[in-house]
Amino acid sequence: MQQKEQIIRTEYSEVMQKSYIDYAMSVIIARALPDVRDGLKPVQRRTLYDMHELGIRHDRPYRKCARIVGDTMGKYHPHGDSSIYEALVVMAQDFKKGLPLVDGHGNFGSIEGDGAAAMRYTEARLEKITQEAYLADLDKDVVDFVPNFDETEKEPLVLPVKVPNLLINGAEGIAVGMATSIPPHNFSEVIEGVKAYMKNPDITTRELMQCIQGPDFPTGGIVVNKDELLNIYETGSGKIKIRGKVEIEQAKGGRQRLVITEIPYTMVGANIGKFLMDVVNLVETKKTGDIVDISNQSSKEGIRIVLDLKKGADTENLCNMLYKKTRLEDTFGVNMLAVADGRPETMGLVPVLKHHVNFQYELATRKYKTLLAKELDKKEIQEGLIRACDVIDLIIEILRGAKNIKDAKDCLMNGNTEKIKFRYKGSVADARQLHFTERQATAILEMRLYKLIGLEIEALMKEHEATLSNIAKYEEILGSRSAMAKVIVKELTKFQKEYGQPRKTRIENVAEAVYQEKKIEEMPVVLLMDRFGYARTIDISAYERNREAALSENKYVIPCRNTDKLCIFTDKGQLHTVKILELPYGKFRDKGTPLDNVSKYDSSEENILYINCMDGLRGKKLLFVNSQGMMKVVEGDEFDVSKRTTAATRLNEAETVLAIEMLAETEAETVVMQTEKNMFLRFFASDVPQKKKGAIGVRGMKIDSRDKLKAVFLLGEEEKTIEEKDKRIMLHRLRIAYRDGKGVKK
């Protein structure tokens, strides 16, 4: 029978709001943010748990990553194999994680941004620390298990991590409306911080920072704003400034070289290549002339970027320039956001450790309750077996006289002798005194005869003593928070001794880098640009010697100053600017550089209509005419902008700029507009109103719908003639009319 449709009437905005909030919370809790207790995102947690379930231990052979990823996706994380493999790769990269959790075998990428090989080629297994501190005790009911996405498997809600992983490995994640960015810290220091908090739960952030000095990045480097760390760790957000480590080495011929041996954590990946390009750009733009050569000699042993310097170079000033102009000094934005008690929360250092320590007490309580229950069960059975050994002859007589196990068990538990045939009458009275528990009776019935050997009985007694000792120990731990704290601290100390590493990142207070930029000697030059778009500058004297050749071989010849900038106006209505210093300066016959290389101008998509230097535009006025006949006059100073590319004028869709001309601003200056059907209109340039560059302008000529504007001419007092279909038209003899007319046919 078909179910009847149920229509719910509600406000659409309410449905959208609820749906968006549900989606946002799903991304925040179930994908993007780590849990404060284990410091892991769901994808990381599920991958590690799946490896644990597959038995891929540190002392067993590696297994294909494709197997791990497929198993994780099929059982626990149905969000695509790429996200799972990426999480697996990152957990194996020692240049991203302070404490790698996965032991990778094969190509797992490099610090320079090379990606890992495909998952079908790489292999992995768990690290020893991961087994001991992240996945141990899962069989002791220390964490809750929940159904997976299709309720065919169970997965842990959180892993029983015994170290503060959120601080040790840090975290990065982008959710909906929020993001987390937590730097990694030194393993030993964080353990010391946990111990300090357990001794004094009222500890302040300042006191805690005597143990945890600051972040410890896997790439080393230097944190230069030590005084700001206190506020960052109190509020859970802020900016950490990090620098690479630069060493000065002596080279041949009395020269020196700068060697970068450690990089900022933010430079990991493609940013190393960008840094090299930035240094090359500093040399090419003449910001520095001290660098002769740059080479990246990095290897598996570590980072080594070498900058060879010229003799007598100012190394201190050059280092400061690298800090200011490249990513050798960078900022790591801290936002210590994690899921705590089921909701996202930004926490400082103390709250993070508070949540971790509370979690450790919870884990320890559940662990020792489980162990105590097991020991009490063992004690019950052991006591039953010990008592059974004392009356073993009676028990054997009961077993031989019973018809079935049920009768024998009933006699052992309740002293019921009615269904038992005894060989000796005196045994009946003794049997009625038996009162074993059900567990004890079952153990007696299952006991093998070799257990009656003297040595076995002795071993049973020793085992019973050990059980009683364990019970006393577990009860003491569960009965006293201080005793439990000792156990937690003892285990942390063991991890600290085995896995602790010296600090890699130095924490200092360093003054802001200040460098004196080399003053550029201002001088007049001449810009030459050929018809292929290659531009260069030459000395005035070189231009004077080759004036005729310069004018005949080049499309644009513009006198300017080397401190000026070039303004390039295109038919797309764009203004591209280029600093004159960015163009090569040299001899007359030197080849220039394409404008495409030094600006955002694209010669394949737009055509240059007008070029001038900024000094040549100041105090002048430009006439703009678009393809629809709209025109305006714009002050040249409006184009003095800092952006490399901006809109020079406003255009509607499908419009282009037809002409840009500089006005002479004389009374006799006129504009001639020509259409494809040879309609001509001449009027005074002063009739065109002055507008802002963002305006469309006014109509210059009424053009028939079947006609199009073809050309625009700006006439002064000189004569100008054009040829059209074997006819010579003298523009200066056209009758002067008014703007926005139809014009005359020629």
Report d(CA 472, CA 492) in Å as an integer. 23
Residue 123's pLDDT is 97
Which of 4-13, 92-101, 124-133 is predicted least confidently?
4-13
- Give Cα 375 distance to the centre of its chain: 48
Percent of the chain with pLDDT over 70: 98
Report d(CA 668, CA 337) in Å as an integer. 71
Residue 491's pLDDT is 95
Please report the beta strands in 310-453, taking only residues with DSSP state E, as ranges in sequence order.
329-335, 337-340, 343-346
Residue 158 has pLDDT above 90, yes or no: yes
Residue 519 has pLDDT above 80, yes or no: no
Tell me which of 148 and 446 has the higher pLDDT.
148
- Give Cα 381 distance to the centre of its chain: 56
What does the H/E/C string look like for 287-350? CCCCEEEEEECCECCECCEEEEECCCCCHHHHHHHHHHHCCCEEEEEEECEEEECCEEEECCHH
Residue 542 parent element (H or E): helix 540-545
Longest CA span, the chain = 151
Answer whether 303's CB lies under 8 Å from 264's CB.
no
Please, which residues bridge with residue 491 across strands? none
- Give Cα 44 distance to the centre of its chain: 16
What is the tens place of the pLDDT at every residue in 667-718?
889 999 999 999 999 999 999 999 999 998 999 999 988 899 999 999 988 8
Which of 396-400, 502-506, 646-650 is predicted least confidently?
396-400
Residue 372's pLDDT is 94
Residue with tokens 């080479």: 295
Residue 8: other Cβ atoms inside 10 A = 5
Which residue from 246, 250, 263 is spatially nearest to 313, judged by alpha carbons? Answer: 250
Report d(CA 15, CA 190) in Å as an integer. 45
Q: What are phi and psi of 559, to 5 degrees?
A: -70, 135
End-to-end Cα, the chain, rounded Å: 84
Answer whether 384's CB lies under 8 Å from 444's CB.
yes
Residue 282 DSSP code: H
- Which whole-number Å values give the CA distances from 683 to 207, 264, 663, 672, 708, in the listed order? 82, 64, 14, 7, 19
Residue 391's pLDDT is 84
- Which whole-number Å values give the CA distances from 677 to 47, 334, 480, 711, 744, in the listed order? 74, 67, 102, 11, 10
Q: What are phi and psi of 564, to 5 degrees?
A: -85, 180
Q: Walk me through the domains of the chain, giving residue ranges and CATH numbers.
A: 40-160 (3.90.199.10), 245-327 (3.30.1360.40), 355-498 (1.10.268.10), 520-565+574-602 (no CATH), 618-746 (2.120.10.90)
Task: Label residue 398 by pLDDT band (50, 70, 90).
Answer: confident
Residue 499 has pLDDT above 90, yes or no: yes
Which residue from 621, 645, 639 is spatially nearest to 572, judged by alpha carbons? Answer: 645
Residue 424's pLDDT is 75
Report d(CA 209, CA 169) in Å as an integer. 18
Residue 347: other Cβ atoms inside 10 A = 20
Enter the tokens of residue 411: 């006699």
Answer whether 49's CB lies under 8 Å from 135's CB.
yes
Which of 166-170, 395-399, 681-685 is predicted least confidently?
395-399
Per the document, the length of the chain is: 746
Residue 160 has pLDDT above 60, yes or no: yes
Report d(CA 30, CA 35) in Å as an integer. 10
Which residue from 650, 651, 660, 649 is spatially nearest to 713, judged by alpha carbons? Answer: 660
Rounded average pLDDT over 378-400: 85
Residue 521 has pLDDT above 90, yes or no: no
Which residues contact residue 91 at a Cβ distance below 8 angstroms, ignoring those fewer than 6 apart?
A: 44, 47, 48, 97, 100, 101, 102
Strands 305-309 and 291-296: antiparallel
Which residue from 345, 305, 348, 311 is spatially nearest to 327, judged by alpha carbons? Answer: 305
Alpha-carbon torsion (705, 709, 715, 718), positive or negative: negative
pTM of the entire predicted model: 0.74
Which residues contact residue 101 at a Cβ distance below 8 angstroms, ignoring those fewer than 6 apart?
A: 44, 48, 91, 92, 126, 127, 129, 130, 134, 169
Residue 82's pLDDT is 93
Q: Which amino acid is at 731?
A: L
Long-range contacts of 74-78 (CB under 8 A, 24+ apart): 75/50, 75/148, 75/152, 75/153, 75/155, 76/46, 76/49, 76/50, 76/148, 76/149, 76/153, 76/155, 77/42, 77/43, 77/46, 77/47, 78/149
Q: Which amino acid is at 452?
A: L
Residue 4's pLDDT is 67
Residue 217 has pLDDT above 90, yes or no: yes
Residue 3's pLDDT is 60
Task: Label residue 498 by pLDDT band (50, 70, 90).
Answer: very high
Residue 570 has pLDDT above 70, yes or no: yes
3-class DSSP assignment, residue 143 = coil
Answer whether 444's CB lies under 8 Å from 389's CB.
no
Which residue from 111, 79, 68, 75 is spatially nearest to 93, judged by alpha carbons? Answer: 111
Percent of the chain with pLDDT over 90: 61
Residue 127's pLDDT is 96
Residue 30's pLDDT is 67
Q: Mean pLDDT in the chain?
A: 90
What is the tens place of the pLDDT at every residue in 221-258?
999 999 999 999 999 999 999 999 999 998 887 889 99
Report d(CA 484, CA 712) in Å as an integer. 91
Residue 14: other Cβ atoms inside 10 A = 9
Residue 9's pLDDT is 79
Positions annotated as catalytic residues are 121
Task: Label residue 488 by pLDDT band (50, 70, 90).
Answer: very high
Which residues contact residue 266 at a Cβ distance below 8 angstroms, ignoring those fewer than 6 apart?
A: 242, 327, 330, 331, 332
